[in-house]
């Protein structure tokens, strides 16, 4: 099967930038997604990128995609304590199923 | 607001006692999914309905079944819950299309405890 890999933890200070990295294995994925999960809650879609794009920016969020290396990153500028959560990278296969990474726990200290 | 609703948010059942989890949506999406998420793990797809067509993942245990009586509702039935079935169960919906990102919208989840 295909695996989506993420580092498990990231700790930053409030106001710094956070960069969460992800590698995926299916080069045929059409879309790649970043979801946020707060404690005890469901998954909230933060942003996604189409596979023919290199970068997408949405307010404090910047997604970079390197198709050659199958590497995806999410940069959060000016990280706030409210950004503390688990961030999941996911890829779209066969038009319906999402394959998720195990999630990166972002801890923001003030 | 259009949304995905899951009931109950917390469910406690006894070992072997059947339990049903409920999901409803007001998005009018044609695809509905059930994921299982164990502690510190990625959500794992159990099955999904594409309209009325049921699609089971190959490694989903027979203990897990699903029903979709209409577009808005989908149920997850666990026939004989074991201790290993304790998890968060997430329902999601989407409306795939050629010009769609196939974005999936998730409900808040039901946390299942098996005693």
pLDDT, one tens digit for every residue, chain A (110 residues)? 457 899 899 999 999 999 999 998 877 778 899 999 998 888 999 999 988 889 999 999 999 999 999 999 999 999 999 999 999 999 886 556 788 999 999 999 98
Structural tokens at position B20: 């049903």
Burial class (CB in 10 A: 0-12, 13-18, 19+), A81: exposed
For the four alpha carbons of A91, A21, A88 and B40, in that order, the dihedral sign comes to positive
Q: Give how far Cα B24 sits from Cα of B3, B8, B97, Å.
A: 8, 11, 21
What's the pLDDT score for residue B32?
95
User: How many CB atoms are closer than 10 A to CB B106?
Assistant: 21
Structural tokens at position A95: 């038009």
What's the pLDDT score for residue B88?
95
The CA distance from B104 to A68, in Å, is 26
Q: What secondary structure does DSSP assign to B15-52, as a single string?
A: TT--EEEEEEESS--SEEEEEEE-TTS--EEEEEEETT
What's the pLDDT score for residue A27?
74
Q: B110-114 and B87-94 as β-strands: parallel, antiparallel, unpaired?
A: antiparallel
At residue B1 the predicted structure's pLDDT band, cuts being 50, 70 and 90, is low
Helix (H, G, I), strand (E, B) or coil at B84: helix
Q: With contacts defined as CB-CB under 8 Å, which chain B residues touch A42?
A: 4, 6, 90, 106-109
The answer to whether B109 faces chain A, any CB pair under 8 Å, is yes
CB-CB under 8 Å, A48 with B96: no
CB-CB under 8 Å, B102 with A43: no
CA B52 centroid distance within chain? 15
* Mean predicted confidence (pLDDT) in B38-67: 92
The answer to whether A14 faces chain B, any CB pair under 8 Å, is no
Helix (H, G, I), strand (E, B) or coil at B46: strand
The answer to whether A39 faces chain B, any CB pair under 8 Å, is no
Find, among A20, A24, A8, A39, the residue nearest to A98 by Cα.
A24
The answer to whether B42 faces chain A, any CB pair under 8 Å, is yes
């Amino acid at each position: 099967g295909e695996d989506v890999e993420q580092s498990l933890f990231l700790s930053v200070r409030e106001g710094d930038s956070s960069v969460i990295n992800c590698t995926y294995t299916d080069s045929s994925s059409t879309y790649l997604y970043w979801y946020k999960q707060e404690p005890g809650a469901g998954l909230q879609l933060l942003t996604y990128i189409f596979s023919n794009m290199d970068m997408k920016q949405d307010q404090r969020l910047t997604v970079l995609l390197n198709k050659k290396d199958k590497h995806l990153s999410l940069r959060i500028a000016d990280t706030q304590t409210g950004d503390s959560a688990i961030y999941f990278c996911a890829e779209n296969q066969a038009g319906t199923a999402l394959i998720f990474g195990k999630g990166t726990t972002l801890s923001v200290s003030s | 607001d259009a949304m995905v609703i899951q009931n109950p948010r917390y469910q406690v059942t006894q070992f072997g006692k059947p339990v049903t989890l409920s999901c409803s949506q007001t998005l009018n999406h044609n695809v509905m999914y059930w994921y299982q998420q164990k502690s510190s793990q990625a959500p794992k797809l159990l099955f999904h309905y594409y309209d009325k067509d049921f699609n089971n993942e190959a490694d989903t245990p027979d203990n897990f079944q699903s029903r979709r009586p209409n577009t808005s509702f989908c149920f997850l039935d666990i026939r004989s819950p074991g201790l290993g079935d304790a998890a968060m169960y997430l329902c999601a919906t989407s409306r795939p299309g050629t010009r769609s990102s196939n974005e999936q919208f998730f409900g808040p989840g039901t946390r299942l405890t098996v005693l």
